[in-house]
Amino acid sequence: MNREQFTAATAGLGEAELRKALWTVYWRGTAAVRERIEEILTPGHTQVTRRAAPAAPDPDQVLTAVQEFSRLVRSGAYLAGNRAVRPKERSQWRFTFRRLLADSRAALAADDPVGGEAAMAEMIDLACQLRDDDYVRSEDPIEAAAVVVSDEVAVLWRHLIDQGGFAEFATRGAEQFLRWERRYGWTRSGWGKLSERERRLTEVLAGLLTVQDTWVTFTEHYLQVLDGMAPPPATAAPSRGRGRSYADEQRRREMEHRLARRAETMIDWHLLLLDRFFGTEDDVLLDRLAGHAALGGPEQLHFRARLAQARGDLPTARQLIHRALEELPGHRGFLDLARQIDAPLPPSENLTVASRRHAKP
């Protein structure tokens, strides 16, 4: 909230409620916050002694330590078979992870925080890899480390905005957004107290985009990053058929899977942009997104169908969602849209719907 919004929100509170709120901030706040409140409460007392804040760690030293830890983790040293890490350290990797993450966060307060920014980015990269790969002895590494990755990303992004301005953040944040976003969070289990605290980076980002210009600027940088991820035109849609080697077919499938997975991961962000830009002068950005070569698969068809529906082109929307259901049968979001626009269902979906109706008492 800005000052006016905060004033409006607290206008209905009585004196007792305001005192309670102030006490909560005082009791649970940092030492610096408590000292500031004490100064406000005793304006005539000039002898309030300020406790010196701990000095920020050296960003370059933190970055060196983070890079060495990341190198050892990725080399498998924390699993076994590498004398660079003692057996006791292998079981305590999560404490090292948390300590280095805290040091990286603290290094952002240094006069020259570039090393701290790089260290934070490296730790978040490692957290994303720990979710997907077995580098340590833990069934769910992020749960074991008790780290809310989305909160750490929010700290870094807010720092980038405060330090270099929004344009600098958009340049760096768009690439990080695509690299770090996870549709189902960073814990493997997807449930539990830590998982409940995780937020989609789409939500984190939306809270930082305060006015229309920031939405446009960030989206333009986002599309530029996607441009760099698009496959070369010659291989963007390799043909199927005789004469193609097994290796060519395998590469084609891997590429299609990569494009589809990217579109699936980012679909919530794309639909948010649809709501934000449709019917405005920035509507052209939606066309670039809908036809982008770096995205594919059923979720991209879903986005294109939603865009066609918004523009009143129902025949195209029906065709697109029909194709999406052929590629990914049973998807509830696709079925909901198909019902909204009376799109024909593939045979498999018709059988499924008929069997559900037959099963009803």
Is residue 188 a contact partner of residue 127, using CB atoms and an 8 Å limit? no
Residue range 318-324: average pLDDT? Answer: 96
Give the range among 32-36, 176-180, 205-209, 235-239 with minimum mean pLDDT: 235-239
- Helices 166-180 and 212-229 cross at an angle (nearest 10°) of 50
Residue 52: its pLDDT value, please? 56
Residue 340, token pair as written in the block: 């909204």
- Taking the C-alpha atoms of residue 65 and residue 168, their distance in angstroms, rounded to an integer, is 26
Share of the chain above pLDDT 70, in %: 88
- Taking the C-alpha atoms of residue 176 and residue 178, their distance in angstroms, rounded to an integer, is 5
Q: How many other CB atoms are found less than 10 A from the CB of residue 95?
A: 11
Query: What are the helix (H) ranges across the chain?
Result: 3-10, 15-28, 31-41, 59-74, 87-91, 93-107, 114-132, 141-145, 149-164, 166-180, 193-197, 201-208, 212-229, 246-277, 284-290, 297-310, 314-327, 332-340, 347-359
Report the mean per-residue pLDDT for the chain: 87
Is residue 283 a contact partner of residue 277, using CB atoms and an 8 Å limit? yes
Q: How many other CB atoms are found less than 10 A from the CB of residue 197?
A: 12
Residue 351: its pLDDT value, please? 47
Q: Which of 5-14, 23-32, 253-262 has the highest mean pLDDT?
A: 253-262
Nearest Cα residue to 67 out of 30, 5, 120:
120
Give the list of residues 6+ apart from residue 66 with CB closer than 8 angstroms, or none: 100, 103, 104, 119, 122, 123
pLDDT at residue 21 tops 50: yes
Residue 361: its pLDDT value, please? 46
Q: What is the DSSP letter of 44?
A: T
pLDDT at residue 356 tops 50: no
pLDDT digits (tens, 9 = 90+) for 119-152: 999 999 999 999 989 999 889 999 999 999 999 9
Give the list of residues 6+ apart from residue 295 with CB closer than 8 angstroms, or none: 226, 259, 262, 263, 266, 289
pLDDT at residue 280 tops 80: yes
Residue range 202-207: average pLDDT? Answer: 96
CA angle 147, 52, 158 (to 5 degrees): 40
Residue 55: its pLDDT value, please? 77
pLDDT at residue 69 tops 60: yes
Residue 242: pLDDT band (50, 70, 90) is low
